[in-house]
Amino acid sequence: MIQITDAENFSRTDINTVSPDVTQTVSAIIDDVRQNGDKAIIEYERKFDGVNLSSLAVSPDEVSAALSVVGDEYLSMLKRAAANIHAFHEKQVRSGFMFSGSEGVILGQRVIPLERVGLYVPGGTASYPSSVLMNAIPAKIAGCDEIYIATPPEIKPEIIAAAHVAGVTRVFKMGGAQAVAGLAYGTESVPRVDKIVGPGNIFVAEAKRQVFGRVAIDMIAGPSEILIIADEDNNPSHIAADMLAQSEHDKLASAILITDSRNFAQKVSEAIEEQLPKLKRYEIARASIDSNGRIIIVDELFEAVKIANDIAPEHLEICTSDPFEWITAGRIRNAGSIFLGKNSPEALGDYYAGANHTLPTMGTARFSSPLSVDDFVKKSQYIYYTHEALSSAADDIERFAMSEGLTGHANSITIRRTR
């Protein structure tokens, strides 16, 4: 049963679990894939997933078959969701700039799409075509030339259909650390990418950490989280459902409610127990609620601000009479995605509204952001000086260089003083 506690007795560390040390296992997998390419990945898929693969890439025939299986209604739903995601993310596109700093000086910045990106889409206990759209559409808007998906080999047709709708270049049947290694280093059939994005289990997260530097990554995602701030003028069944929606993701997921009403807290707890047995993923949600579920009682609801900013949750629901005052006044600083009002459940953001659902977890919303178009571009800058402009700045540059003891730097300016 979910724990109900007063605010002064709550600690952020209560909902964190220490992941097992998988560093050596992942390192060995990465090294094997680097040396043996496709052969190593195929062997790991046989070992971990029990699948014997003759090739890693999803074929055009498999794409056609998947589209036929899901049908027109499902494809139409994907396209409507994709349109919402596109509408949100296209507003994130930024342009370069150029300006004249002074006479004879031109400075500028270019915004350049990454050439190749790899999107990891989890499989295993669940399938996430929504993650395909959320990862691929911003990359497409950014202008990436090639977009590849890696996902565990028993791919549901919905994943392939979402990849088709999002304009993905190719889908590869590979999961876990071996998929990350394949994308990072390239194999006979898997192109080496510039950046790997998307959530995964602890092996995927550790593999992304280890290949960082060889390629860029978006973030190292932990278990999913939701924090709900709610007054008693809510339907307790609605709040319970939102907490369970997050809990069914993973046994390590956390669902927290902060309220100023002990009576409401008890009703939510009872509603959770009533709804839990009806869930298909009951055992996962049960474990999550028992280990990481919390209801925190505060004297005044605005005390929740400090707790929320300390936790920096992946998802934050504000279910109050005037939810906008919580963000317009700048009270909430740390959250991945914020859901305002009683009719904006977190599932709305997971699938349909358009804002991205790949979000910072484990408190990293203190300093990082949701996945966006910015994740799929890089910036380059340029400088142009005329001879006259350089001569005007020469004394300052030479003095600066000499103060650092870099006489070669100073000489590269001095030598240009005369044509």
User: Is the distance from CB of 395 to CB of 113 less than 8 angstroms?
Assistant: no
Cα-based torsion angle of the residue sequence 391, 396, 402, 408 in order, rounded to the nearest 10 degrees? -30
3-state secondary structure of 200: coil
Which one of the listed residues 206, 314, 346, 398 is annotated catalytic? 314
User: Is the distance from CB of 292 to CB of 255 less than 8 angstroms?
Assistant: yes
- Residue 339: left (phi > 0), alpha (psi -120 to 50), or beta? beta
Read off the DSSP letter of residue 175. -
**Could you please report the per-residue DSSP string of 298-334?**
-SSGGGHHHHHHHH--SEEEEESS-THHHHHTT----
What's the token pair of residue 79? 């396209």
Other beta carbons within 10 Å of 123: 22
Which one of the listed residues 89, 164, 249, 315 is annotated catalytic? 315
Q: Where are the alpha helices (DSSP H) in 90-153?
A: 129-142
φ/ψ of 116, rounded to 5, equals: -130, 135
Calpha distance 147→199 (Å, rounded): 16
Taken in order 80, 237, 335, 124, is the CA torsion positive or negative? negative
What's the token pair of residue 160? 């392939």
HSE toward the beta carbon, residue 152, CA cutoff 13 A: 22
Residue owning tokens 């009479």: 321
Q: Would you call 249 a catalytic residue per the annotation? A: no
User: Is the distance from CB of 309 to CB of 281 less than 8 angstroms?
Assistant: no
User: Is the distance from CB of 276 to CB of 289 less than 8 angstroms?
Assistant: yes
Calpha distance 214→313 (Å, rounded): 29
Q: Would you call 232 a catalytic residue per the annotation? A: no
305 burial (CB, 10 Å; 0-12 / 13-18 / 19+) is middle
Q: Among all residues, which ones are annotated catalytic? A: 314-315
